[in-house]
Structure 1
């Protein structure tokens, strides 16, 4: 399988407000297109996901990579890490021996998947899992995504000092997300893209200066962005299932097709509810107004699906989660970045 890869090399502390999931990356790219190309170009970009027969840009969630200095080649060598697929659990035979029905086994698998923490695999082992080989646990150290609380203060720019309300300081705390570098290595994020990327390159150059995600004014979300570059994944030619590398919101037709083809082996997943917020400014005198968008339910990255009838690379939908006061609809990304996988 061939696609494009984009690398996010952290600047400074390398922190982000939250992990860079596919919907957050897509939203940042939309903002960049709007600011660079104008509202008309953004509307065309969004519409490309709604038109039948179009070839829109598909985006995976971001995953860590590490770089180690190679003394022989005198260059940095990258190692990519991918999520462990949500494969059938080893408890299947025990459930069958206990006389559980196929539907009850499916429910039990989902409960186990919800409780289990799935590790990440370096690319070579990930490709082996895609080809149906048994997953070997990682024994080497990998970059770990960590969260730590950070204390912030509110600044009153008029008096060049900290702000005080009712003689009380305005300290507050946020959880910052980082990649923990290993000794002798450096790390960053990468994500994959497919389809029409003619607007993406300029948007990425803009985001290199603008930042990605929240709290950019405090230094979060700052990256040197490399790519899009060519990227190859070794995938099986005899796949009997598929997995997603992005958050996936299936269409009603896809849900029906999945249900008709699902078994306890080829349908294992985790669910996650995602919700954003809309911020706008009514006028110059008033501050910004905020409103929570409607929640949308997604399949998480690593979820496994059957090769349902009419399976296609372009599946999923971008749900409308509200309407902006200016009158336009608000969409959240929900298309799957599917990879073929063989389940024995």
Structure 2
């Protein structure tokens, strides 16, 4: 895929409070931006936006959001990316079988390690041989180079983000009396950030730059994801040019940084590749509540490849993935689910 004509941005979202359920992923970001364009500019702009995705040059490609530790004292940020899909580690390579369990639970890897792996400067054998688990009584953290710190794999000298989750109780309200409805207690999982921000990467057609950033500014206060009517999902926006890593043009494989729905020919190519590694997740979105107040209208579920999947390059494809029709809307039109890949080239044998 060629991205030479796109602008490149790192979009930092500093949460004002919590996110509901999870850090926003690419399909959630796309849905929020699309509804914001509709609210700001009307149905004509939304139609233009969605129609542009049917060609070979989408107006924008979005990664999922990833965590970034912000050291306010040093003024330094530690960016993290999704843990690459590495498959099963042979037990012979692990000093302790418990390391396999910890590695399986690792979701994010700091960008210093990620770049070294991507460039082939180090391999997983080297990491395993110099690895310790933070807080483990059987591990020697002082002599280790790499640390498993909760769901993060970091270089010893780097800091891990602090992300916490907690369930909060709520109840449905009787609109006539204003009191709680008996038997309608529910719990919501919320994500909290401590000295931590989240960010996503963006390839952007210059013609859509003004409108897309206007949509993001609108979403600062409106919020992204579930629970926006209760204060979740709001953030302060910061945009910087470029990515926090080198954007390579060469490579036999690509690492995916979004939720990806392969087209038929792409899936056949992936299935016939020996080196492809990926994990699958089911996604099921809901129609924006402000347009159907009081109703929860669910889209059909979609199976997608997760962030961190390692896939073979297809030179004949200008883009990977597409929009997926998931619901016929009352009054005409079709709700679409975002399934474009966000490719980062990787040399053969790396990762």
Q: TM-score, normalising length from structure 1?
A: 0.79
Rounded to whole Å, the distance in 2 between the matches of 1:237 and 1:25 is 26
- 1:105 aligns with none
What is residue 100 of structure 1 aligned with on the other side? none
Partner in structure 2 of residue 277 of structure 1: 286
Q: Output the aligned Cα RMSD.
A: 2.9
Aligned twin of 1:58: 61
Which structure 2 segments of 5+ residues have no match? 94-99, 128-145, 147-153
Deviation at 1:152, TM superposition (A): 2.1
Cα deviation, residue 335, structure 1: 0.2
Alignment of 1:179-218 (within 5 A): 179=193, 181=194, 186-196=195-205, 197-198=208-209, 199-218=211-230
Cα offsets for 1:69-92 (capped at 9, x unmatched): 345xxxx22221111211354439
Q: Deviations over 1:204-241 (max 9, x none)?
A: 11001211111112221010111253334225565221
**How far did residue 316 of structure 1 move?**
0.6
Give the 3-state SS of the residue equivalent to 1:292 in structure 2.
coil
Aligned to 1:250: 262
Distance 1:315 1:235 in 2: 17
State the 1:253 CA deviation. Answer: 1.7
Please give the residue correspondences for 1:1-344 in structure 2 after superposition, counting only pairs within 5 Å. 3-11=8-16, 13-51=17-55, 53-70=56-73, 76-91=75-90, 116-132=104-120, 133-135=122-124, 136=127, 137=146, 138=154, 139=156, 140-154=158-172, 163-165=179-181, 168=182, 170-179=184-193, 181=194, 186-196=195-205, 197-198=208-209, 199-227=211-239, 229-235=241-247, 239-260=251-272, 262-263=273-274, 266-278=275-287, 288-312=294-318, 314-342=319-347, 343-344=349-350
Is the CA contact 2:10–2:244 (under 8 Å) kept in the aligned structure 1?
A: no
Equivalent pairs counted in the alignment come to 304
- Describe the shift of the 1:92–1:193 C-alpha distance in structure 2 as closer, same or farther (beyond 3 A): farther
TM-score for both structures, normalised by structure 2: 0.77
Q: Sort the Cα spacing of 1:18 and 1:292 in 2 relative to 1 into closer, same or farther, 3 A.
A: same
Task: Please say if residues 17 and 215 of structure 1, whose CA atoms lie closer than 8 Å, have aligned partners that are also in contact.
Answer: no
